[in-house]
A and B are shown apart, each in its own frame.
Chain A
Amino acid sequence: MPELSLREALNEALSEEMERDEDIFVMGEEVAEYNGAYKVTKGMLDRFGPERMIDSPISEAGFAGLGVGAAMAGLRPVIEMMTWNFAVQAFDQIINHAAKMLYMSGGQFNVPMVIRGPNGAARGLGAQHSQCLEHMLTNCPGLKIISTVIPADAKGLMKSAIRDNNPVLFLESEMLYGFKGEVPEGEHIIPIGKGDIKREGTDVTVISWNKALLQTLDAAASLAAEDGINVEVIDPRTLMPLDEELIFESVRKTNRLVVVEEGWGVSSFGCYITDRVTTECFDDLDAPPARVSNLFVPMPFNVTLEKEVLPTESRIKEAVKKVLYKD
Chain B
Amino acid sequence: MAKIMQMPKLSDTMTEGVVAQWLVKEGDKVKAGAPILEIETDKATMEYEATASGVLLKILVGDGESCALQAPIAVIGKEGEDWKEAVEKHKSSSGGGAASSSKSSPPSEPGSGVAPTPGPSGSQEEKSVGQQSSVNTGTAPSSGRVKASPLAKKVARDRGLDLSTLQGSGPNGRIVVRDLEGATAGAASGSARVDAPVERVPHSNMRKTIARRLTESVQTAPHFYLSLSLKMDDVLNWRKAAVSKLSKEEKFSVNDVMIALVARALKKHPEINASWHDDHIARYRDVHMGMAVALPAGLVTPVVRHADKLTVLEIAEQTKSLASRAKEGQLRSEDYQGGTFTISNLGMAGIENFTAIINPPQSAILAVGAALPTPVAKADGSIEVETRMTITLSCDHRVIDGAVGSAFLQTLKKFVEDPFTALLLS
Q: What is A's interface to B at a CB cutoff of 8 Å?
A: 255, 282-287, 325
Query: Is A325 in contact with B151, judged by CB distance below 8 angstroms?
Result: no
B177 and A255 contacting across the interface, CB-CB below 8 Å: yes
Partner of B176, one of A282, A284, A286: A286
Decide if A287 touches B154 in the complex (CB within 8 Å): no
B169 proximity list for chain A (CB < 8 A) = 325
Which chain A positions have C-beta within 8 A of B149? 285-287
Known contacts A325-B169, A325-B170: does B150 contact A283 (CB below 8 Å)? yes
Q: Is the CB of A287 within 8 A of B170?
A: yes
When distances are taken between beta carbons in the complex, the residues of chain B under 8 Å from A325 are 169-170, 176, 178
| Selected A-B contacts with CB under 8 Å, 5 pairs | A282-B150, A285-B149, A285-B150, A285-B151, A286-B151
Q: Which of chain B's residues have a CB closer than 8 A to the CB of A284?
A: 150-151, 154
- B55 CB-CB contact with A under 8 Å: no
Give the size of the chain B interface in residues (CB under 8 angstroms). 11
Q: Which of B323-347 contact A (CB under 8 A)?
A: none
Interface of chain A: mostly helix, strand, loop or mixed:
loop
Cβ of B153 under 8 Å from chain A: yes
- Nearest residue (CB) in B for A284 is B151
Besides the known contacts A283-B150, A285-B149, 5 further A-B residue pairs in the complex with CB atoms under 8 A apart? A255-B151, A283-B153, A284-B154, A285-B150, A287-B176
Asked if B272 CB lies within 8 Å of chain A CBs, one says no
Residue of B nearest to A287 (CB): B149
| A-chain residues with CB within 8 Å of residue B150 when the two chains form the complex | 282-286
The interface residues of chain B lying within 8 Å CB-to-CB of A287 are 149, 170, 176
Most A-side CB within 10 Å, residue of B149, B153, B170: B149
- In this complex, the member of B150, B176, B177, B178 whose beta carbon has the largest number of chain A beta carbons within 10 angstroms is B150
Query: Interface code B127-152, partner A: CB below 8 Å = 1, 0 otherwise?
Result: 00000000000000000000001111
Tell me the residues in window 161-194 of chain B with beta carbons closer than 8 Å to chain A beta carbons.
169-170, 176-178
A residues near B151, Cβ cutoff 8 Å: 255, 283-286
Shortest Cβ-Cβ A-B pairs, 9 listed:
A286-B151, A283-B154, A286-B149, A286-B177, A283-B150, A282-B150, A255-B151, A285-B150, A286-B176
Q: How far is the CA of A282 from the CA of B149 in the complex (A)?
A: 9
Separation of A283 and B148 alpha carbons in the complex (Å): 11
Point out the residues of chain B lying under 8 angstroms from A286, CB to CB.
Answer: 149-152, 176-177
Q: Which of B151, B153, B169 counts the most chain A CB atoms within 10 A?
A: B151
Which residues of B sit under 8 angstroms from A283, Cβ to Cβ? 150-151, 153-154
Q: Which residue of B lies closest to A278 (CB)?
A: B150
A325 to B148, CA, bound (A): 13
**Shortest beta-carbon distance, B382 to chain A, in Å?**
73
Looking at the assembled complex, report how far the CB atom of A150 sits from the nearest CB atom of chain B, in whole angstroms.
32
